[in-house]
Amino acid sequence: MKSIFKISFLVIFVQTSLCYAQGGMNVYRGNVNIVQGGGVQVLGDVEISLNTGIENNGDLHLTGDWVNNSQDSGLINQGEGNVALNGNYQEISGDSPTYFSTLILQTNQSVKASQIETYITRFFQINDVIYQTNQFNTHVLNPTTNAVSWSTGFIESSQLAGNILRSTNTDSSYFFPVGSQTISNNLRAIEVQPSSNDSNVFAVRLGVQDASLEVGTSLAGSIAPFDRESKEITIGDINPIYYHNVSQPFGNQPADISLYHMSQDGNGAFTALAGWNVSTSSWDEVSVSMNPVTSNLFLGNPDRKADFLLSANTNDDVYALASLAVTAPTGFTPNGDGINDVFFVKGLENFPDNELYVYNRWGQLIYEAKPYANDWNGINTSGAVKIQGDEVDEDTYFYILKLSEDMDPIKNYVDIVKD
């Protein structure tokens, strides 16, 4: 048997249940037709040369690389067969994008790498495999919600341009199992729920590095780096380990997005979401609801999710978990005029278990609250100084604000002025 199985006839039909191509298969002068019920096991690469192709209505398994140099789709006539990559490390490459029908990734914990734009018209079965997009997009054209499936595998991207795209036509949930080998539990998946049954395309990528060190341009046009120090005053720390790209290349309907993550990310301090504003080149606070995860535990057993709205037709596609900068005033005027009458701590609503203690200059407690509800108007509540319920004097006071058990308390002063 030759080391490479060359197809040199005009058409060759594969009808048997399984035939073997030892050492690889090079389609270089004719077409291959694998009929329904037929199968080919290629022990090596499959290379499709210029003006040739494979009509696959059966099963094509290969242990080597997939190389499409046909200057066409590679798999012709929209055959509904399966292509299974079952080697240890395999690449999808060539000078032409391949349109797979069903692409099946096999061999547990192996790596499959895309070195070219790739399209999947029916089903993408990731199983237990790590699929690397690199700087290339993989687009699943089938809009059914179960078109992408996986168990412990995930989609990994090392470069800014490499996304997983999914077409949608329902208002049901579509999952994007993006992840990385370098983070715990691997997955940091995204759930997209379109607001209508209109046709849309959504794209997702997980970038596992400091966004300030990123290079390149995102699918939506965001130009890196995304400096974590350029941000709104309400934003504290921005996740230095990973961020997400979430965009809508096609469609004009908004969508609800859920970003699944672990409470250990940021040691529980990430209670907010920041989005990169292309027009200002800075991070803005995104309106988000942080919720515990009670379902969808198949997404790597996450325990938290960030729920937010993705606006249609936006160029802003960079999102990162963040903490809010809790900002407390150094003075307020409780004189009853309705302006600055209370000690108001901005961002406090994100820390429901907070505690506030206020002391006078002699260290006597004059006010405490567990939790503090942004409602102290300078009234003594302790009874240790003056009469409980009386107004405190104009003076400088000192406070300790405990936001959570995992964070150091904030200690500062505040001046009470009544004029």
Q: What's the CATH code of the domain at 396?
A: 2.60.40
pLDDT at 21: 60
pLDDT at 385: 56
pLDDT for 2 beyond 80:
no
Report the DSSP pairing between strands 410-416 and 331-332: parallel
Give Cα separations from 127 to 174, 225, 265, 328 (angstroms).
17, 33, 26, 50
> Token pair of 169, please?
């036509």
List the domain range (segments joined by +) for residue 1: 1-128
pLDDT at 82: 97
Q: Each residue of 224-241: pLDDT tens digit?
A: 999 999 998 778 899 999
**Residue with the larger pLDDT of the pair 261 and 79:** 261
Give Cα separations from 204 to 48, 130, 137, 200, 395 (angstroms).
30, 16, 10, 13, 54
Output the DSSP codes for 302-371.
Answer: --EEEEEEE-TT-S--EEEEEEE--B--SEE--SSSSSS-S---BTGGG-TT-EEEEE-TTS-EEEEESS
Are residue 334 and residue 306 in the same domain, yes or no? no
Domain count, the chain: 3
Provide φ and ψ at 232, rounded to 5°: -65, 155
CB 116 within 8 A of CB 97: yes
> Token pair of 139, please?
């687009």
Are residue 122 and residue 163 in the same domain, yes or no? no
Would you say the pTM of this structure is higher than 0.85?
A: no
- Closest alpha carbon to 269 in 344, 211, 327, 325: 325
**Residue with the larger pLDDT of the pair 24 and 83:** 83
What average pLDDT does this structure show over 282-295?
93
Are residue 373 and residue 318 in the same domain, yes or no? no
Q: Each residue of 172-206: pLDDT tens digit?
A: 999 999 999 999 999 999 999 999 999 999 999 99
pLDDT for 63 beyond 80:
yes
pLDDT at 92: 98
The confidence band for 405, taking pLDDT boundaries of 50, 70 and 90, is: confident
pLDDT at 12: 43
In degrees, rounded to 5, the angle at the alpha carbon of residue 247 between the alpha carbons of residues 142 and 316 is 170
Q: Each residue of 86-131: pLDDT tens digit?
A: 999 999 999 999 999 999 999 988 999 999 999 999 999 999 999 9
pLDDT at 408: 77
The confidence band for 24, taking pLDDT boundaries of 50, 70 and 90, is: confident
% of the chain surpassing 70 pLDDT? 93
Per-residue b/e over 108-138, b at no fewer than 16 CB within 10 Å?
eebbbbbbbbbbbbbbbbbbebbbbbeebbb
Are residue 267 and residue 254 in the same domain, yes or no? yes
Are residue 300 and residue 220 in the same domain, yes or no? yes
Neighbouring CB atoms inside 10 A of 97's CB total 20
Are residue 60 and residue 173 in the same domain, yes or no? no
Are residue 123 and residue 209 in the same domain, yes or no? no
* Pick from 36-40, 92-96, 165-169, 272-276: least confident: 36-40
Mean pLDDT of all residues belonging to the chain: 90
Are residue 59 and residue 154 in the same domain, yes or no? no
pLDDT at 75: 93
Report the DSSP pairing between strands 318-324 and 235-238: antiparallel
